[in-house]
């Protein structure tokens, strides 16, 4: 027998369903994700720290949870909402059900929710605060608590690496500044032979330069990009000195470091089917996305940045590059995981950028 549970929104809307995962109930900003596969990678993406995900795909958990597909050591989101949770998964790689994994990591959730109506509500209203309760009598108090729940602030400190570590390779030396990175960024760099040093997000410029990197990457991560202001200066000093590539939060921080500004979107982009156009080649990629903030187009005019990619759904900025320095960034996820690999080529372009920067440096020094 499944126990009943309620999903409550700050505007007083209540969805009745069944308890899923942990009984230690949490609150958070509720966002929707439109991916049709890859729930394990999505759930373990540190950029969702403190948020509650509702999946628009109606059946979640059917191939279970396996040892290898986590994008971080442990999921750090505050809840999962599904239409139907499969409790008896079938896959040779599966070692746990979704429900067991959620109990293990203390992630609460609910199944049996009309996720279609919930998603339409979020699209109309914008993201909302939400929480769970198993007791009908507590709904009114929960609504009050949700109204005063603070905005996400500095979740990066919860998910960035505590100390540096190396994922070895025999190619270019890359420093990956970790704001809550997805593992596949490291894997993609390693696949191209790179020797990757992952460093905590507050690592100083001096410490980074001591590693003598050939290239710098700034990762994805949770929360508002403006909440990590103190680290933007480091990024500012790197741009122009060492080839630079930023992903998602890394893209936002790159833009902020050059004088642009960011804003919170109404309901963001989260899913594996977001069309993005490369304005240089005209090519359209289907991309994996997870962001609630974006860079303000008007603010780009006062910078040395150029818009390279736009979202075809709402024409928001999806990619930037510096007009003179070897530095670029994308708002979406070329590392996919989950999602299409269309924009994987950006890692190759980063390697090429390092190669030509080195060749230029050698000519100057000769």
Ligand X SMILES: NC(=O)CC[C@H](N)C(=O)O
Active site residues: 248, 333, 335
Q: Which is nearer to ligand X, 63 or 293 (CB)?
A: 293
- Closer to ligand X by Cβ: residue 215 or 292: 292
In the bound state with ligand X, the residue whose beta carbon lies nearer, of 201 and 293, is: 293
220 binds ligand X, rule: CB under 6 A: yes
Q: Which stretch binds ligand X (CB under 6 A): 11-19, 163-171, 220-228, 358-366?
A: 220-228
Name residues whose C-beta falls within 8 Å of residue 137's C-beta, 6 or more positions apart in sequence: none
236 appears as a binding residue in the annotation:
no
**DSSP helix/strand/coil, 227:** helix
* 221, 246, 326, 338: residue in contact with ligand X (rule CB under 6 A): 221
Interface residue with ligand X, options 17, 79, 223, 338 (CB under 6 A) = 223
Instruction: List Cβ neighbours of 44 (8 Å cut-off, separation of 6 or more).
Output: 69, 70, 71, 72, 74, 75
Question: Out of 290, 299, 308, 329, which residue is the one contacting ligand X (CB under 6 A)?
Answer: 290
Query: Do 33 and 55 form a contact (C-beta atoms < 8 A)?
Result: yes
Q: How far is the CB of 40 from ligand X (least distance, A)?
A: 17
249 labelled as ligand-binding? yes
In the bound state with ligand X, the residue whose beta carbon lies nearer, of 72 and 111, is 72
Residues written for the chain: 366
Q: Select from 186, 248, 336, 353 the one that contacts ligand X (CB under 6 A).
A: 248
Q: Is 40 in the site for ligand X (CB under 6 A)?
A: no
- Piece in contact with ligand X (CB under 6 A), picked from 183-191, 237-245, 289-297, 314-322: 289-297
Q: Where are the beta strands (DSSP E) in 179-214?
A: 195-200
What's the rounded Cα separation, in Å, for the pair 159 and 178? 8
Q: Does 293 bind ligand X (CB under 6 A)?
A: yes
Interaction between residue 292 and ligand X (CB under 6 A): yes
Member of 222, 319, 334, 339 binding ligand X (CB under 6 A): 222
Cα separations (Å) of 362 from 149, 212, 356, 357? 55, 16, 10, 9
290 labeled binding residue: yes
Give, rounded to a whole angstrom, the gap between the first and last alpha carbons of the chain.
76
The reply to whether 223 sits in an annotated binding site is yes
- Regarding 291 and contact with ligand X (CB under 6 A), the answer is yes
> Annotated binding residue at 94?
no
CA gap 290, 330 in Å, rounded: 12
Of 91, 77, 90, residue with least CA distance to 33:
77
Which region among 3-11, 76-84, 219-227, 308-316 touches ligand X (by CB under 6 A)? Answer: 219-227
Q: Which is nearer to ligand X, 142 or 248 (CB)?
A: 248
User: Which residues inside 249-288 make contact with ligand X, applying CB under 6 A?
Assistant: 249
Residue 131 near ligand X by CB under 6 A: no
89 prior amide bond cis, ω within 30: no
Spatial neighbors of 19 by CB under 8 A, at least 6 apart, are: 2, 3, 4, 5, 109, 110, 134
* Cross-strand partners of 40: none
List C-alpha distances in Å: 190 to 123, 174, 215: 38, 10, 13
Q: Which residues bind ligand X (CB under 6 A)?
A: 47, 220-223, 248-249, 290-293
Residue list, annotated binding site for L-glutamine: 47, 221, 223, 249, 252, 290, 292-293
């Amino acid at each position: 027998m499944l126990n009943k549970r309620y999903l409550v929104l700050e505007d007083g809307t209540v969805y009745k369903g069944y308890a899923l995962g942990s009984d230690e109930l949490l609150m958070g900003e509720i966002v929707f994700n439109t991916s049709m596969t890859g729930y394990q990678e999505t759930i373990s993406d540190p950029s969702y720290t403190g948020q509650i995900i509702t999946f628009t795909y109606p059946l979640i958990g059917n191939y279970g949870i396996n040892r290898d597909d986590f994008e971080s050591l442990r999921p750090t989101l505050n809840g999962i909402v599904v239409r139907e949770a499969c409790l008896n998964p079938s896959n040779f790689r599966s070692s746990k059900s979704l429900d067991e994994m959620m109990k293990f990591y203390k992630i609460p959730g609910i199944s049996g929710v009309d996720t279609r109506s919930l998603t339409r509500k979020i699209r109309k209203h914008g993201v909302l605060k939400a929480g769970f309760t198993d007791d009908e009598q507590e709904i009114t108090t929960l609504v009050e608590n949700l109204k005063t729940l603070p905005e996400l602030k500095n979740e990066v400190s919860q998910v960035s690496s505590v100390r540096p570590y190396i994922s070895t390779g025999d190619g270019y030396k890359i420093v990956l500044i970790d704001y809550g990175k997805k593992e596949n960024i490291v894997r993609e760099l390693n696949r191209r032979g790179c020797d990757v040093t992952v460093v905590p997000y507050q690592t100083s410029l001096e410490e980074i330069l001591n590693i003598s990197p050939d290239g710098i990457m700034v990762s994805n991560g949770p929360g508002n990009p403006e909440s990590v202001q103190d680290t933007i200066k480091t990024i500012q000093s790197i741009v122009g000195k060492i080839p630079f590539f930023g992903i998602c939060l890394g893209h936002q921080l790159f833009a902020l470091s050059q004088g642009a500004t960011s804003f919170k979107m109404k309901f963001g982009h989260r899913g594996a089917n977001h069309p993005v156009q490369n304005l240089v080649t005209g090519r359209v990629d289907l991309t994996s996305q997870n962001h609630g903030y974006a860079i303000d187009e008007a603010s780009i005019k006062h910078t040395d940045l150029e818009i390279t990619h736009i979202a075809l759904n709402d024409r928001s900025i999806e990619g930037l590059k510096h007009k003179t320095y070897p530095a670029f960034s994308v708002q979406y996820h070329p590392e996919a995981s989950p999602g299409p690999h269309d924009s994987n080529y950006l890692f190759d372009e980063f390697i090429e950028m390092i190669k030509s920067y080195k060749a230029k440096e050698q000519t100057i020094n000769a």
